[in-house]
Structure 1
Amino acid sequence: MHAYLAASRYIDHDHPDVAAQARALAVGAASKAELIARCFTFVRDEIRHSSDYRLNPVTCRASEALRHRTGYCYAKSHLLAALLRANAVPTGLCYQRLSVGDAGAPYCLHGLNAVWLDDHGWYRIDARGNKPGVDAQFTPPVERLAFPIREPQERDLPEIWAEPLPSVVAVLTSQPDYAAVLRNLPDVPLIGVGLA
């Protein structure tokens, strides 16, 4: 579990601001579940989704998302991982492959988290931010994610990563504003799809 507790370049829970926010969220928490719920709710509700609110700058590091109070789902997942890891809760990064529109191509990755719960194992949580049609919650053992899988080209990718995917970092660190990120959302090919 060490990798899922570590501080790193993008999950920088050793940053003073992130560490301070993690401590503040832990004050008075009566249980590990309450602590996780507090961190989840903070990121979901207090860090605004860049595209939903048309906000700049583009953030990638957890500390950037916290400082600017905005981020795409990817940066928000980095911040949630950082806050939980700072509180000794093993946390990883997960991805879904979803249609960018209502159905069909193009597709993109959507970033979320998996947290280790002693009673349940890995449990996915999605702090991208709620809006009409999106109602993500922390309700273990039942997962309440932002987006369902609706068609064959969409996927719940099974991996739990300790670090962000390079393709995600590349987009977030190379695009000048939220609109450019929206035009260049990362994707991954599905192995074996479309083969006869």
Structure 2
Amino acid sequence: MSHASSPPLDSLDPARCLGDDAVVESRHPAVVMLGESLRAGSDTDAELAERAFTWVRDEVGHSYDVGDPRVTLRASEVLEHRVGLCYAKAHLLAAVLRSQGVPAALAYQRLAHGESHVLHGLVAVHLEGAWHRQDPRGNKQGVDAQFSLGEERLAFAVDPAAGEVDYPTLHVTPAPVVVEVLQSTDDILALYDAGLPTHV
């Protein structure tokens, strides 16, 4: 797990990260309803962001962790089925935050995966004047991601010696390669063999 300081992230206007698109559906009624319920118990945007992060991390199963082959991509699908890969969970978290006026972007890491590498999806939330990356993939043995506006508490630490990369670019919309790969399958678990994205 990572407790390191965040790498320098590219500057991105937070105002650009409040909108709705076909995947990060911040205006979808079910997403808005979840956002409003989380907002109701929050006194600040930071508290809302932490509650939203915890909800997505803990209430939506990671497809591989729970052995669920269903394909989810759009925020509303992830919310309906309560399952998804890291990318899908990031789409839901970003949508929930945006629905409540909290700027949220998407970010990525390149991690070692067997003999190759795999792209890992994160969320960056803009609070207290800066971007802070969060990892809602879901915890398990050896993985302990936590919400943090200080030192990062991501699921995985990047090892440059292994060809791993913290991509500094923040994205308003999902990386096209992620959308293409998820749309190309009807069995998420099969992507382990067919191949997940390896870079942005």
TM-score (norm 1): 0.91
1:149-188 residue CA offsets vs partner (Å, 9 max, x unmatched):
1243101000000011111001111111122222221012
> Residue 95 of structure 2: which of 61, 65, 82 is its match?
82
1:50-84 residue CA offsets vs partner (Å, 9 max, x unmatched):
01111131100011000000000000000000000
Cα drift, residue 28 of structure 1: 2.3
**2:77 matches 1:61:** no
**2:122 matches 1:112:** yes
Do 1:112 and 1:127's aligned partners in 2 also have CA atoms closer than 8 Å? yes
Structure 1: 5+ residue stretches without partners: 190-196
Question: Could you tell me which residue of structure 2 aligns to residue 2 of structure 1?
Answer: 15
Question: Could you tell me which residue of structure 2 aligns to residue 127 of structure 1?
Answer: 136
C-alpha distance in structure 1 between counterparts of 2:91 and 2:149, whole Å: 21
1:124-148 residue CA offsets vs partner (Å, 9 max, x unmatched):
0000000011000012211100000
Q: Secondary structure at the match of 1:161?
A: coil
> Residue 43 of structure 2: which of 30, 51, 57 is its match?
30
TM-score (norm 2): 0.89
Task: Let me know the Cα RMSD of the aligned residues.
Answer: 1.2
C-alpha distance in structure 2 between counterparts of 1:8 and 1:172, whole Å: 16
Using the aligned pairs only, state the percent identity: 47
**2:181 matches 1:171:** yes
Question: Could you tell me which residue of structure 1 aligns to residue 197 of structure 2?
Answer: 186
Structure showing greater relative contact order (alpha-carbon pairs closer than 8 Å, 6 or more residues apart): 2
Aligned length, in residue pairs:
185
C-alpha distance in structure 2 between counterparts of 1:48 and 1:14, whole Å: 23
C-alpha distance in structure 2 between counterparts of 1:73 and 1:27, whole Å: 26
Do 2:132 and 2:148's aligned partners in 1 also have CA atoms closer than 8 Å? no
Question: Could you tell me which residue of structure 1 aligns to residue 168 of structure 2?
Answer: 158
1:1-33 residue CA offsets vs partner (Å, 9 max, x unmatched):
332000000001111111111111111201111
